[in-house]
Structure 1
Amino acid sequence: MAADSFLMPPCRKIRICKAKREPNLNHSDSSSGVEPQDADYSYVPQLYDELENLILARFPLSEYWKLYLLNKHFLQFLKSGELFKIRRQIGFKESSIFMSASGGNSWWAFDRLFKCCRKLPELPSRDVSFIGGDRESLCAGSHLIVAGWETTDGYVVWRFELETSKWIKGPFMIDPRCLFASATCGTFGFVAGGIGMGLIGAKVLNSAEKYNPETKSWESLRCMNKPRKFCSGCFMDNKFYVIGGKDENNNELTCGEAYNQDNNKWELIPDMLKDDDNQVATQQSPPLLAVVNNELYSLKTSSNELMVYIKNSNTWKKLGAAPVRADLHQGWGVAFKSLGNELLVIGFSSSISSGNDNGKGMTIYTCKPEPESKELQWRCIEGYKDRLNFFLLNCCVMVA
């Protein structure tokens, strides 16, 4: 951008007229009524459209919905998607947390610091199977993707667009699926594995896909080495990792696979989920994984212990207990996510074991993990304890 593009444009001259006075009935002068005339000029600077757009691009993401109500110009500007393109060009990004808890079909959006919260428009699906069944969620660019099963259409995808603040059905995946691994890299979303519907019923998949929010389309990727369901995904070392899960015979998988976009190949990593005792990290839910500063962390559902992955030795190191009860429902209902340079955990507070909690509402904690640290400092986020049920159905982080 040229340096002179930030200079103020030429001032616009505004004509200001004097108000017409009422005639003085006691005065014989016929000129007592004064007509409007050029009396004074004020110079009101105007903003270039480019400068105005740069200012709007730095507007807090959690407040964008208010711009829809401002005027038609801002509404159309938001719907065009240009505002998010400008944010990417200037490197201005914010994290937002989207979550849905048990007890309803509502989605909530929180800002990075959990100081702003708003309820999204109701997801239009009224299908009982979709509302009460397994749903997966991920974010890609400014799109929130929610996948699940509907009685009439099978496995479907609903997406919420920040540009329009609306839910839209589709586009469906090339291989519709549920209970799959997912991760986000830049503005793209990646999915792999899961359960799909074959010609003779449910089938465990090894296929993978990539979602592009600009074209609103899915692209097939090379298939994994092993079919797997109940697996988890993450991005680390610029690769899409799919870890753990179960195979087509319902056997636990401790291996992982890493997809390299440069050569379009998957690398199989044996025993990636074995702990220090060389025991399988069995868990009913998919593995709870998060990557912060290119380091992989795991929350064990059997012991509520936080672990960090040591890449060179393909082993795990203990970092201490997390402040939520991941073991309460074998990992289900707990959120374990990366939030910038912090770890985010949401769930039932571990203080209930000592009787210091009334057992209602969710608890939110963050910390800045250090692989070499002996003790992690968790920070409790206050203010939302009774806003949502502690059992989360879905949670994902958007960076846009």
Structure 2
Amino acid sequence: MDGSSSYENGDVGSSDLQPQDADYSYLPSLLDELALLILARVPRSEYGKLCCVNKRYLALLKSYELSKIRRAIGIEEPSVFMLASGESRWWRFEHHFASFSKLPDLPSDQCFAAGDKESFCAGTHLLVSGKEIEGVVVWRYELDMKKWFKGPSMISPRCLFASVSCGDFACVAGGIGTGTGMEILNSAEKYTPENKSWNPLPKMNLRRKLCSGCYMDNKFYVIGGQNENGVDLTCGEFYDRDKNKWELIPDMLKDSPIPTSRSPPLVAVVKNELYSLDASSNKLKVYLKKSNSWKELGNVPVRADHSRGWGVAFKSLGDELLVIGGAWNSYTGQGMTIYTCCPDPNEEFLHWRCLGSGSNRMSHFVLNCSVMVV
């Protein structure tokens, strides 16, 4: 991240050139279905050039069908979207942080810009939830359009909720309602980017806020948090789509200390294994499903304990774990560092790879971070 990038001042693949409708009638035209299969195998970084071929190709490249085909044939390129403290615009990082760009200004009001926000991805949509003067709203950035759009709002607007990206859809659950009673919720919803809609899911067994979500074994897990009485929850639960119901997992976090004012649990799933970053000890743990227990895998190379887990990004990045935060040797928290590793639950310690430092570009304190795999 300390290097320069040709994408720094604009969206990746953006161009001032306009699609051309030249006369290619002497060439045989590919059917849209075949063209999409070919385009799906082209790196997304080249889409900006292909958009200029003609208006037909521009439409194909912006179609939701293209992302579905890429996912079906296993061609996925993760992008990291991040908003750091002191920044007014979101950053997008690609190719393991080798290239980066700024997103357009998010056209919200000042209340939204200055307040706390929560983010997650669904398909090619980055969704950012926060509070405007009129109430809680959701803004979405559509990668193919390279634009921000407002809405649609959740069925039950909320904050401090669990969220998870499940490829071509996303789910949210729990949190604090925005009504006059500030009710702790047990409701859940599913967002589908193809039709830009929210649909209700069955209610969880327990009401919880400050909880975290993950997607494992094709199930939506909600872990930890606090109930309506402010009691810390060590249980988790998951939504089984086949049964259309939530199943409780008692004592899922029984081995993890829960300090006061901590962030929601820092969890990520890689290769269908659940990992947790303990913000009180900076230790990485892997969840052992059969025994409902956790195994330590050594320390992470960032200071997760500096702000009790707040300001740290802990995400899955394809087949790797990604952690972003203040440098381990910095007791003031200054200096952002970015690390990845390929976790192995059978190892005692993991080998972390440093991807660089963002200390000269942005604050070490990460406000929001989401990974889009398309």
Letter in 2 for 1:95: P
- Residue 304 (structure 2) pairs with residue 326 (structure 1): yes
Q: Which residue of 1 aligns with 2:10?
A: none
Measure the CA separation in 2 of the matches of 1:315 and 1:161. 39
Structure 1 CA distance for aligned equivalents of residues 306 and 259 of structure 2: 16
Shift in Å, 1:387 = 2.5
Inter-CA distance 389–63: structure 2 relative to 1 (3 Å threshold): farther
Aligned to 2:62: 79
- For the residue of structure 1 that corresponds to 2:330, the secondary structure is helix
- Identical positions, percent: 60
1:295-321 Cα offsets, whole Å, 9 max, x none, are 111101111111111112211111111
TM-score w.r.t. structure 1 length? Answer: 0.82
Match of 2:110 in 1: 127
1:359 and 1:70 map into 2 onto residues whose CA distance is 48
The answer to which structure, 1 or 2, has the higher relative contact order (CA under 8 A, 6+ apart) is: 2
The reply to whether residue 184 of structure 1 matches residue 162 of structure 2 is no
Closer/same/farther in 2, CA of residues 312 and 53 from structure 1, 3 Å limit: closer
- Which range moves more in the overlay, 249-258 or 66-75? 66-75
- DSSP 3-state at the match of 2:274: strand
Query: CA 1:192 to 1:65, structure 2 compared with 1: closer, same or farther past 3 Å?
Result: farther
Secondary structure, aligned partner of 2:182: strand
Q: Distance in 2 between matches of 1:309 and 1:231?
A: 17
- Give the counterpart letter for 1:76 in structure 2: A
- Provide the C-alpha distance between the structure 1 equivalents of 2:218 and 2:68, rounded to a whole number of angstroms: 22
Structure 2 equivalent of residue 18 of structure 1 = none
Residue identity opposite 1:163 in structure 2: D
Query: How many angstroms does 1:275 deviate by?
Result: 1.1
* Contact kept? 1:234, 1:240, Cα under 8 Å: yes
CA drift of 1:186 comes to 2.7
Confirm or deny: 8 A CA contact 2:341 2:353 kept in the other structure. yes
Taking the aligned partners of 2:278 and 2:201, their CA distance within structure 1 comes to: 30
User: Bigger CA drift: 311-320 or 379-388?
Assistant: 379-388
3-state SS of the aligned residue for 1:204? coil
Q: Is the 8 A contact 1:188 1:212 kept in 2?
A: yes
SS at match of 1:268: strand
User: Is the 2:223–2:236 Cα contact (8 Å) retained in structure 1?
Assistant: yes
2:87–2:362 CA contact under 8 A, matched in 1: no
The CA deviation string for residues 299-346 of structure 1, in whole angstroms up to 9 with x for no partner, is 011111111111122111111110000111111110000111111000
In 2: Cα distance, 1:283 partner to 1:322 partner:
21
What is the root-mean-square deviation of aligned Cα atoms in Å?
A: 2.2
Report whether the alignment pairs 1:168 with 2:149.
Answer: yes
| Equivalence for 2:82 | 99
TM-score by length of 2: 0.87
Q: Does structure 2 conserve the Cα–Cα contact (< 8 Å) formed by 1:62 and 1:116?
A: no
Please report how far the alpha carbon of residue 252 of structure 1 lies from its aligned counterpart in structure 2 after TM superposition.
0.8
- Are 1:211 and 1:218, in contact at CA under 8 Å, matched by a contact in 2? yes
Deviation of 1:270 after TM superposition, in Å, equals: 1.2
Q: Which amino acid aligns with 2:79?
A: S
TM superposition shift of 1:280: 4.5
8 Å CA contact 1:142, 1:161 repeated in 2: yes
Unaligned regions of 5+ residues in structure 2, if any? 1-22
- State the alpha-carbon separation in 1 of the partners of residues 229 and 145 from structure 2: 43
Q: Which segment drifts farther, 382-391 or 284-293?
A: 382-391
| Count of paired positions | 349
Paired residue type of 1:161: E
Distance 1:383 1:324 in 2: 12
Structure 2 equivalent of residue 287 of structure 1: 265
Question: Following the alignment from structure 1 to structure 2, what is the Cα–Cα distance between the partners of residues 181 and 237?
Answer: 18
1:150 to 132, 141, 145: 132
- Rg comparison, structure with higher value: 1
Report whether the alignment pairs 1:274 with 2:248. no
| CA deviation profile, 1:208-230 (whole Å, cap 9, x unmatched) | 00011111100100000111100
Distance in structure 2 (CA, Å) of the matches to 1:89 and 1:374: 34
1:371 maps to 2:353: no
Shift of 1:178: 1.0
Pick closer, same or farther for the CA change 1:112–1:241 going to 2, 3 Å: farther
Following the alignment from structure 2 to structure 1, what is the Cα–Cα distance between the partners of residues 55 and 235?
53
Gaps of 5+ in 1: 1-13, 15-43
Equivalent positions of 1:229-268 (< 5 A) are 229-268=209-248
Between the aligned partners of 2:276 and 2:46, the Cα distance in structure 1 is: 33
Quick check: 63-72 or 187-196, which moved more? 63-72
**Residues 1:386 and 2:360 are matched in the alignment:** yes
1:75-105 per-residue CA deviation (whole Å, 9 max, x = no partner) reads 3333333432332343322111111111022
